[in-house]
Amino acid sequence: MIGTTLGHYRILSLLGSGGMGEVYLAEDTRLARQVALKTLPALVAGNAEFRERLEREAKAIAAINHPNIVTIHAVEDCGGVRFITMEVVRGKSIAKLIPVVGWPLNRVLDVAVPLADAVASAHQYGITHRDLKPGNVMLGEDGRVKVLDFGLAKLGDSASPAGEAATQQATQVGQVLGTVAYMSPEQAQGFPVDHRSDIFSLGIMLFEMATGRRPFQSTSVPGTMAAIIESPPRPLDELKPDLPYEFARIVRRCLGKEPSRRYQSALDLRNDLDDLRQTMASTPSAQVLARRAGGATHWWRWIVAG
């Protein structure tokens, strides 16, 4: 499509592609601006379910006005090609930015607080993302976090009167949607999910941002799914012994196997993360309570990384 036009959009380059769509950089010749243009992959462009998902993504994003969620401009059709136009986010996904040993905790929190705030805003509109992962979170050149790709979003009644019915038609019990490494146990089993599934995914991302590793890993997809469903997460202090107890507590609470054992809202998670960030900012050198696997309690001197 590069070099061609769709209506008044001139396709300039491919920004990214995946099973749910292809995203191009395009020039809006009417308004003299650049936009991101998302179309369905050619192999599924005529598939009614995939077209419905594209529409659902547009509705999900359009329902939310939040600085950390990508802004949608329009849903359009040209020559039988259905596409979304949205703001261009110049930067990189955090999947490409997380070092192999993870970020310092202050950096993790600078990303995690606006990320959790964006997810909390989506949940307030009755929208469950269902595919939160580092590849769907951009860090812009201006330093702003942006959540992308609501193609698998579940819309509740507050987002659209017909949202839940449409979602149930598109996602039957027993059908697994999302990225395996970041799924909740209920999602991995094909069970119905709610907003607390996103909180589990955020817990995996927090763990990975801090350590460079994921809490549930295997050499195979079935093995990863089994670990998510059955195994406890790897203890954070095995990889980063200097992480404070409070951060480990937050991550553990996100990763409860049962939704009832997790944070019950992303806003509560966001507030705990922000409280920790403020504590770090106000106390550069702090005594942090750390509990080890054996149950003993120790005080450790923790110097905030710069």
Q: Is 110 a catalytic residue?
A: no
| Residues in contact with 80: Cβ distance below 8 Å, sequence separation at least 6, in sequence order | none
Closest CA to 210 of 180, 252, 179, 177: 252
Distances (CA, A) of 106 to 11, 33, 76, 227, 267: 39, 35, 41, 29, 19
Cα(64)–Cα(270) distance, rounded to whole angstroms? 18
Listing DSSP states for 205-270 in one string gives HHHHHHHSS-SS--SSHHHHHHHHHHSPPPPGGGT-TTS-HHHHHHHHHHT-SSGGGS-S-HHHHH
Rounded Cα–Cα distance for residues 228 and 231 (Å): 6
Q: Which two tokens stand for residue 139?
A: 């860090």
Nearest to 166 by CA among 175, 157, 179: 157
Query: Would you give the distance in Å from CA 167 to the centre of its chain?
Result: 19
Distance, CA of 138 to CA of 89 (rounded, Å): 7
**Token code pair at residue 48:** 């009614």
- Is 182 in contact with 204 (CB distance < 8 Å)? yes
Of 117, 131, 149, 272, catalytic: 131
Point out the residues that are catalytic. Answer: 131
